[in-house]
Amino acid sequence: MALSGFFLLVFLLQHCTINFLSVINPESFNNVSHFMGTNPLVQFALQPILAFGVIFHLGMGIRLEFQNRLSRPIKYEMEKAAENATWMSRNMIITGVMILLFFGLHFYDFWFPELNTKFIIGDMSGLNAGGEFRYYEELKHKFIDPTRVGLYVVSFLFLSLHLMHGFHSAFQSVGFRHNKYTPIIKKLGMLYAIAIPAGFVFIALFHFINH
C-alpha cells in the first residue's frame, strides 16, 4: 500500500502541476498535454505503470479491508473509535471508494475520449477542426456544467481526507519514523493533503467561472 501510495503521491503532484498550466498559460498547457498524450515513453511505459499502481493500490486496499474485517468477526456493542483515532485513519476504504467512483466520471470525461480519438479514430495530431491544439478548449468545455464541477469539488474533498492519513501513514509503513523528521512529515502531509486537492478544485472553479 505504502509503496504504491508514494508513487501516486508523485503522480498527483505532477498532474496538478500540469493542470495548473491551464490557468496560467493555456499555450503551455496545450504543449505539455500534447507531449504527455503522444510521447511513446509516457504513453506506453509510464501510463501502464500508473495503471498498475492505481489497480495495485486499489486491490491491496480492498483486500486489506476484507482481511481486517475478518479479524474481528464479532463487533463490540459499544465502541468509541473516535476517542483514539481520527476519522480519516478509520475510513480510508470509504474515501478510497469515493475516489474510485470519481475515476468513473474522470475517465468518462477525459481518458476514454482521448483513447477514442487517438487509438480508435487514429487522430494523433492533437488538433481540432480549426487546426489548433484541442486540449485547453476541451478542458474548459468540461467545466461549464455546474453539476460536474460540484462532483469534482466533492471528490477532491474525499481525496483530501484520504491524503490526510495516507501521506504520513505511508512513511510509517516503510519504517520511516524519527523524532526529528516525523513531525515535519506530518505537517508536510497535511499541507499536501490540502494544497493538491485545493489546486484541482481551484482549476475546476477557475474554468467554470471564466467560461
Partner 1 sequence: MTENGMNLTLKVWRQKSDKDKGQIETYQVKDISEHMSFLEMMDTMNEQLITAGKEPVAFDHDCREGICGSCSLFINGEAHGPDRGVTTCQLHMRKFKDGDTIYIEPWRSKAFPVIKDLVVDRTGFDRIMNAGGFISVNTSGNTQDANSIPIPKDDADHAFDAATCIGCGACVATCKNASAMLFVSAKVSQLALLPQGKIEAKDRVLNMVGQMDAEGFGSCTNTGACEVECPKGISLDNIARMNREFMSASITSDK
Question: For binding to partner 1 (CB under 8 A), which residues are involved?
Answer: 64, 67-68, 70-81, 83-86, 89-90, 92, 165, 168-169, 172-177
Least Å distance, CB 6 to partner 1, is 14
Question: Smaller CB distance to partner 1: residue 44 or 80?
Answer: 80
Q: Do 53 and 7 form a contact (C-beta atoms < 8 A)?
A: yes
C-alpha–C-alpha distance, residues 202 and 121, integer Å: 33
The sign of the torsion formed by the CA atoms of 69, 172, 91, 203 equals negative
C-alpha–C-alpha distance, residues 10 and 4, integer Å: 10
Question: Smaller CB distance to partner 1: residue 146 or 175?
Answer: 175
Q: Which of 207, 208, 200 is nearest to 17 (CA)?
A: 200
Question: Smaller CB distance to partner 1: residue 44 or 76?
Answer: 76
Question: Smaller CB distance to partner 1: residue 60 or 100?
Answer: 60
Question: Smaller CB distance to partner 1: residue 86 or 116?
Answer: 86
C-alpha–C-alpha distance, residues 62 and 59, integer Å: 5
Phi-psi region of 80 (alpha: psi -120 to 50; beta: other; left: phi over 0): beta
Q: What is the separation, in whole angstroms, between the first and last Cα of the chain?
A: 39
Question: Smaller CB distance to partner 1: residue 141 or 177?
Answer: 177
Least Å distance, CB 201 to partner 1, is 27
Least Å distance, CB 76 to partner 1, is 6
As separate numbers, helices (DSSP H) first and strands (DSSP E) second, the chain gives: 10, 0
The sign of the torsion formed by the CA atoms of 44, 113, 199, 137 equals positive
Least Å distance, CB 121 to partner 1, is 44
Least Å distance, CB 100 to partner 1, is 18
The sign of the torsion formed by the CA atoms of 58, 63, 64, 66 equals positive
Least Å distance, CB 190 to partner 1, is 15
